[in-house]
Every structure is written in C-alpha cells, then in structure tokens.
Amino acid sequence: MNKYSWVWVLLLCFSVILNLLLASYVLINEGNSKILSILRSSDEENELSWTRRSAKEAEDVASISCSGDGRAFLDGILLTANHLEGANGGDPLPSCECNSCYYGADCSQFSPDCPADADSGDPIFLEPFWMKHAESSAVMVAGWHRMAYKFGYEHGTFISKELERLLRELHATVGNANTTGKFMVFGAGSTQLLNAAIYALSPQDPPSPTRILGSIPFYPLYKSQTDLFNSKNFEWEGDTSMWKNTSLPSEYNSSVNFIEFVTSPDNPDAELKEPVLLKGPSVKTIFDHAYYWPHYTAIPAPANEDLMIFTLSKLTGHASSRFGWALIKDQEVYERFLNYMTLNSFGVSRDSQLRTLKLLKVVLGTGKELFEFGHRTTRTRWESLNKVLSASKRLSLQKLIPRYCKYFQNVTVPSPAYAWVKCEKEEDENCYEALLRDGGIIGRHGSNFHAENRYVRLSLIKSQDDFDWLLKRMTALVSQEQVREGYGGKTI
C-alpha cells in the first residue's frame, strides 16, 4: 500500500465510526419516538373534550390571588374593561371579594379602623379543608344534567337516593344519629324544614292552634318564621320556662297541642339540651341538631328522636347550598313533610343535591379529617378567646365542660361554634353599647335570642382573618379595662 492508501483507510475508518454513531442515535431516537408515541396516545385517551373549557375557566378564576385575604368566584361581579382583563386578553374576570376589613382590587389593603364583625354564622372556618381537597371535591355539571323535575327511578321523587344513602352512612360513621327505621326528607337548609316540621306535626284546622315553644336563649328563626306564616294551625307561644317540670296550666285542656323546639347543641350557648315540656300525646318535639357534629361538641351517643333536623351548612360549611335533611320516625308525619316540600318548592334544587353528594364522598373518603380539622379549629379559637377573657372582670364566657366523645373515643375539651359573652357588671345591661361598640366588636345581641342584651353572641366559625381580628380587638378591650382598673386603684 502506498502512502495515499493510508489516507483513504483513515478517512474510511472515520466515516464508518461516524456512521456507527449516527446509526446508534437513529436507533435510540426511534426507540424514544415509539415510547413518546405510546405516551402520547395514552395522553389522548385522557384528553378532555367538552369539559376542558369550563375546567380551565374554574382554574383561572381560582388562580386570581386576592392576596390571600379574599376570594374570586365564578359568579362574581365582572371587572369592567377599565380593570384587569382575562389571561386570554378577552373574557373579563370576576373581581375579588375581600374578607372583612380588607379592600382594594386585590384585597391587599387593610383598614385598621374596621370593627371585628363576629355577627353571622357563616361557617367559613372549613374553607381550607375544601381547598386542600380541591381535586376530589370539584364537580363538573353538564348543561343537560338531570333537567326533569324528578329522579327517574321507581315512581319518581325529588330526592337523590344516592345522597340519602351517603347521609345514612355518614350518620352511622359519625355515630351522631340513628337513622334505622327513619324516613328522610330534604329541604332548603334546615330553614325550610323547620316550618315543614311544624306543619307536619300540627293538626289541620284544629279547635285551637298548636302552640310553638322554645327555651330562651333560642334561635330567633323559630319565632319569626312561625309569625311569618301566620297560620290558623299553629302560633308562637313563647318560652318553655312557665311549663318547666310542672303539669300544664288548667286553661290548656287536652285539646291544645304543643310543639317544643329543642336545639342541641344550642345556638347560641352550645349547651346539649333536653326537652323541657312534660311528655304526652299532645306534646311533640322538633330536635334541631344543626350543630350536633364533632366539630362543635362531644358526641355522647347517637341521637334517636322521632323528628331530627340537620343541615349541610354546619356539617361541611356550605351554607350557600341551602341543603338540609330531616329524619322522621312516623310515616304519617313523613308524608305531611313530603307534601309540604312539594307544594312549597317542588323539593330541593337538584344542583345542590349533586354538589352535596360530591362533598359527602370526600367527607366519607377522608376518614376523620374533616371533623379533626373542624374540632381543632373551633377548640383553638375557643381556648384563645377564653384566655383573653379570663383576664377581664367585665366580660365572661359561658361555662362548658369537657365530655367523652364516642366519635373521637376521648374526652374532648369544648369547641363551640359561638361564644355567648356576658357583661358581668350590673350597669352594663346593654353589653354592646356599654362595652363592645367602643372596642370595635360586632356581635349578635342577646335580644335576638329573646335573652337579655347583657349577652352577645360572637361567631367562632368565620374565616381565620375574621377570628384573628376579633381576638386582637378583644385583647385590646381587655387590656384597656385592666389599665382603667389599675388607674382607678391609684386615684382612689
């Protein structure tokens, strides 16, 4: 071989090596492509079609920040063209709805003069649980979802059988109510069911209207709703105290019927209550168990009364869905209940029933998490407020004792939904005007619950922002009191 041949051989070797490298790239790449194409086809299987747009829209709205002190909702007021436009530069976005005392387009401004509003029973303390379980609690409603009046099975009812099944399962799991042998009726929150219950328990066209009673302090709707309907069948009688442990006054002969509302735990004072009226064929009882869940109270035993009312509002925190249910032992009472629900509103929104179904699946599917989270929050808030008020001589809280809770299998410390604050000094007979107003604290006056205005109800179940501000205001109020007491001591 001549010297040129070596050049040819070297060039050839180089070329062959390059070929081998390139060929191995091609082979590896083809393999990857195959894997990619398999992945891609499985992606396509998971691909969404008609749901993608509204899913994206919900995620876009959820991602509007509102500085963590507010929330944008799908049905919020839309920002006008002058404001921020949607991510796609087209559709306007809903504006932020700020927590109390926060303001500005993104809720980033705080108003330090703003009073702490602890008035309403909005159960927003459970919102973080639902944010955590965003994936499992979301529900996609098709435009054609269940348009008819009735659920199609059997002879048609206004009630989702799946939802009824889950509610029974939930009561069995929590152990707060015995549903065996009881009928179930749905209503727009417990609200609509309260009057339905009175209707169902009162005789039609009686010689004398059925008398409705509650024990002070009681939930004001019992009276205001009864008054609203101004029925010939029933009327508001008042407080149970005059009948306490005594036989009925002689002017009430056996032809007079009574219905007693028993709220347990009570709203406002969180006590577990028992009926006050003597039992008898002319006395019926409506047990309002809105707060009989482990968030708010120890569960000593399953409730097993003839007529019990529950509401989603205080179970999951979805006050806005207006969903409640009644458990009813007697078939005739049940049928009158159904008749009331039919003629008042043709049953409960099926949209609310669908959403409730999804929420209950999460509650049942996450063990004790909702109740542990709920109880931890209310307990912590109650303890914080208690600590602050223990330093005050002018303000006190209701006394609640630890109890054994069958659900948590433990003695649990109190965790009420509301603080029932009392102004202790004789001259502070209007607690709000004498004390709380100047401290910038808004609560619900005792007279709302037909009690003295020496009492004020403060909500412990609003948002964390709301509670934090309440605690700050209350701490300032108590410090002020201590400073005054101190100066007082010195000047005398």
CA distance 323 to 160: 12
Quick one: 23 or 84, whose CB is closer to a copy of itself?
23
Quick one: 15 or 482, whose CB is closer to a copy of itself?
15
| Rg, Å, the chain Cα set | 31
Of 192, 226, 165, 193, the closest CA to residue 333 belongs to 193
Asked whether 348 and 357 are in contact (CB, 8 A), the reply is no
Q: Give least dist CB 291 to a copy of itself, A.
A: 16
Q: Give least dist CB 486 to a copy of itself, A.
A: 40
Owner of token pair 């009925």: 248
Quick one: 36 or 483, whose CB is closer to a copy of itself?
36
Q: Give least dist CB 125 to a copy of itself, A.
A: 10
Owner of token pair 């180089």: 14
CA distance 2 to 103: 91
Q: Give least dist CB 30 to a copy of itself, A.
A: 9
Owner of token pair 């927590």: 99
Q: Which two tokens stand for residue 281?
A: 């064929």
Q: Give least dist CB 308 to a copy of itself, A.
A: 19
Q: Give least dist CB 184 to a copy of itself, A.
A: 16
Backbone angles phi, psi at 453, to 5 degrees: -80, 0
237: left (phi over 0), alpha (psi -120 to 50) or beta: alpha
CA distance 310 to 302: 13
Q: Give least dist CB 130 to a copy of itself, A.
A: 4
CA distance 111 to 129: 28
Q: How many CB atoms lie within 10 A of CB 275?
A: 19
Q: What's the Cα-to-Cα distance from 394 to each of 9, 381, 422, rounded to whole Å?
A: 105, 20, 8
Q: Give least dist CB 437 to a copy of itself, A.
A: 19
Q: Give least dist CB 417 to a copy of itself, A.
A: 14
Quick one: 256 or 319, whose CB is closer to a copy of itself?
319
H/E run at residue 309: strand 307-311
Quick one: 192 or 215, whose CB is closer to a copy of itself?
192
Asked whether 315 and 398 are in contact (CB, 8 A), the reply is no
Q: Give least dist CB 229 to a copy of itself, A.
A: 6
Q: Give least dist CB 145 to a copy of itself, A.
A: 6
Angle at 312 between CA 309 and CA 317, to 5 degrees: 140
CA distance 243 to 2: 128
Angle at 15 between CA 13 and CA 19, to 5 degrees: 115
Asked whether 482 and 489 are in contact (CB, 8 A), the reply is no
CA distance 59 to 140: 12
Q: Which residues contact 137 (CB under 8 A, 6 or more apart)?
A: 130, 358, 359, 362
Name the amino acid, one letter, at 33.
Answer: S
Quick one: 84 or 134, whose CB is closer to a copy of itself?
134
Quick one: 191 or 386, whose CB is closer to a copy of itself?
191
CA distance 431 to 425: 9
